[in-house]
Amino acid sequence: YLEAKTHCSNPGCSGAGLKKCPACKQARYCGEPCQYAHWKVHKADCRRVSAELKAGVGASGKGVIKVDS
């Protein structure tokens, strides 16, 4: 089911994006070659999103509520 819904973030690749970017968890790739090929494009967004995640700020710019489990 996930494979049908998720596509590789590298333009031009038709593979399933089953592996998330380890830093931002937003982009998905079919494998390391596509992740490396797309890095120059993805780098700025990745660093911004990663910094927001570390600061506890969501994509909307609002704070994220952290729940202890």
pLDDT in tens, 12-64: 898 988 899 999 989 999 999 999 999 999 999 999 999 988 888 655 555 54
Query: Model pTM?
Result: 0.68
18 close to 7: Cβ distance less than 8 angstroms: no
12's enclosing H/E stretch is none
3-class DSSP state for residue 24?
Answer: coil
- pLDDT at residue number 56: 81
DSSP conformational letter for 15:
S
CA distance linking residue 4 with residue 13, whole number of Å: 14
- pLDDT at residue number 17: 87
